[in-house]
């Protein structure tokens, strides 16, 4: 399954207000707005992705939100400027056209990943959320397209787990007690289900098991922290976690 990418760079810029400029840089289909020497603007990951495209290496299309946008985001009280919203929407349309899929399309859904990055390497510090675009609306379409309901429900389970951990907990500033984090709680539900089924490996869970897990158990564990996993597919919800 091809997955497009959004690379959101989360390094703050020191020394005054950010100047108006270009904040969203596209890459893909043999063209890139950036290049290798733009790590200050794009972060290491974004600059290297752009350079790979420039070298002719096949890279799934996507776009990078610049490091400067982090400063603008904070100065704007945690909100994206309307111009950036428009640029993100415009670049997402480019990705859709190249991939031949639609973000939020019920029959032919495009899935994207949001990956954080920085100017300097920060092992273990950068978060990722995969499979964005999977919702209750798009799941049937992806099942029909892949013919593999178990794969789709497992991808959805992983998305909910990543989103709960990175956005609902970490980005919200919640500091749970040891062993009580949302990821640990969701893992516990998974282990309970496996024990109930008498199986050892995750891969032995059926599509119905995973559907039940995401539809009931995961909702219960998420109550009280934040609104449950969004079903609208809005990309901004996922991108903003890079700076929160």
Residue 234 lies in a domain: no
For residues 83 and 181, membership in a common domain is answered with no
Number of Cβ atoms within 10 Å of the Cβ of 198:
7
For residues 56 and 102, membership in a common domain is answered with yes
Is the pLDDT confidence value at 179 over 50? yes
Residue 237 lies in a domain: no
- Which of 95, 126, 157 finishes a domain? 126
pLDDT of residue 32: 97
Residue 195 lies in a domain: yes
Q: How confident is the model over 25-36, as a mean pLDDT?
A: 96
**CATH number of 215's domain:** 1.20.80.30
Per-position b or e across 113-141, b if 16+ CB within 10 A of its CB = bbbbbbbeeeeeebbebbbbbbbeebbeb
pLDDT of residue 214: 86
For residues 153 and 87, membership in a common domain is answered with no
**CATH number of 62's domain:** 3.30.1490.20
100: confidence class by pLDDT, cuts 50, 70, 90: very high
pLDDT of residue 119: 72
Mean pLDDT of the chain: 81
Q: Which residue has the higher pLDDT, 164 or 41?
A: 41
Q: pLDDT by residue (tens digit) across 195-223?
A: 999 999 999 999 999 998 887 656 655 54
176: confidence class by pLDDT, cuts 50, 70, 90: confident
- Which of 126, 159, 190 finishes a domain? 126
pLDDT of residue 208: 95
Sheet containing 112-117: order of strands: 31-32, 24-28, 62-65, 4-9, 112-117, 128-132
184: confidence class by pLDDT, cuts 50, 70, 90: confident
- Find, among 110, 98, 115, the residue nearest to 49 by Cα: 115
Residue numbers of the domain that contains 190: 144-222
| Cβ pair 183, 165 in contact under 8 A | yes
For residues 152 and 56, membership in a common domain is answered with no
For residues 28 and 115, membership in a common domain is answered with yes
Q: How confident is the model over 30-38, as a mean pLDDT?
A: 95
161: confidence class by pLDDT, cuts 50, 70, 90: confident
For residues 8 and 122, membership in a common domain is answered with yes
Hey, what are 147's tokens? Answer: 């013919």
Q: Which residue has the higher pLDDT, 129 or 236?
A: 129
Q: How confident is the model over 66-95, as a mean pLDDT?
A: 89
172: confidence class by pLDDT, cuts 50, 70, 90: low
DSSP structure string for the chain: ---EEEEEE-PPPPSSPPPS---EEEEETTEES--TT-HHHHHHHHHHHHHHHHTT-----EEEE-THHHHHHHHTTS---HHHHHHHHHHHHHHHHHHT-BTT-SSSB--EEEEEE-SS--TTT--EEEEET--TTTHHHHHHHHS-HHHHHHHHHHHHHHHIIIIIIIITT--PPTT-SHHHHHHHHHHHHHHHHT-SSGGGS-HHHHHHIIIIIHHHHHTTTSS---SS--HHHHHGGGT-
pLDDT of residue 16: 35
For residues 111 and 155, membership in a common domain is answered with no
Q: Which of 81-85, 161-165, 180-184 has the highest mean pLDDT?
A: 81-85
Q: Structurally, how many domains does the chain consist of?
A: 2
For residues 111 and 148, membership in a common domain is answered with no
Q: Which residue has the higher pLDDT, 27 or 223?
A: 27
For residues 120 and 164, membership in a common domain is answered with no
Residue 239 lies in a domain: no
């Amino acid at each position: 399954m091809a997955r497009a990418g959004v690379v959101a760079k989360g390094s703050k810029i020191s020394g005054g207000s950010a100047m108006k400029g270009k904040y969203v840089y596209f890459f893909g289909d043999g063209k890139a707005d950036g290049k290798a020497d733009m790590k200050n603007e794009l972060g290491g990951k974004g600059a290297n992705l752009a350079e790979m495209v420039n070298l002719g290496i096949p890279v799934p299309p996507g776009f990078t939100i610049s490091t400067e946008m982090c400063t603008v985001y904070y100065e704007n009280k945690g909100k994206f400027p309307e111009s950036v919203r428009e640029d993100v929407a415009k670049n997402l349309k480019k990705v859709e056209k190249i991939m031949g899929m639609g973000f939020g399309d019920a029959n032919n859904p495009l899935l994207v990943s949001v990956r954080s990055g920085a100017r300097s390497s920060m092992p273990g510090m950068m978060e990722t959320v995969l499979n964005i675009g999977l919702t209750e609306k798009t799941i049937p379409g992806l099942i029909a397209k892949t013919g593999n309901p178990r794969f789709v429900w497992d991808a959805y389970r992983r998305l909910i787990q990543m989103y709960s951990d990175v956005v609902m907990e970490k980005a919200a500033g919640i500091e749970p007690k040891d062993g009580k984090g949302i990821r640990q709680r969701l893992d516990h539900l998974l282990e309970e289900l496996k024990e109930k089924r008498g199986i050892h490996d995750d891969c032995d869970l059926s599509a119905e098991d995973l559907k039940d897990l995401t539809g009931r158990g995961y909702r219960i564990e998420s109550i009280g922290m934040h609104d449950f996993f969004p079903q609208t597919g809005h990309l901004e919800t996922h991108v903003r976690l890079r700076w929160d």
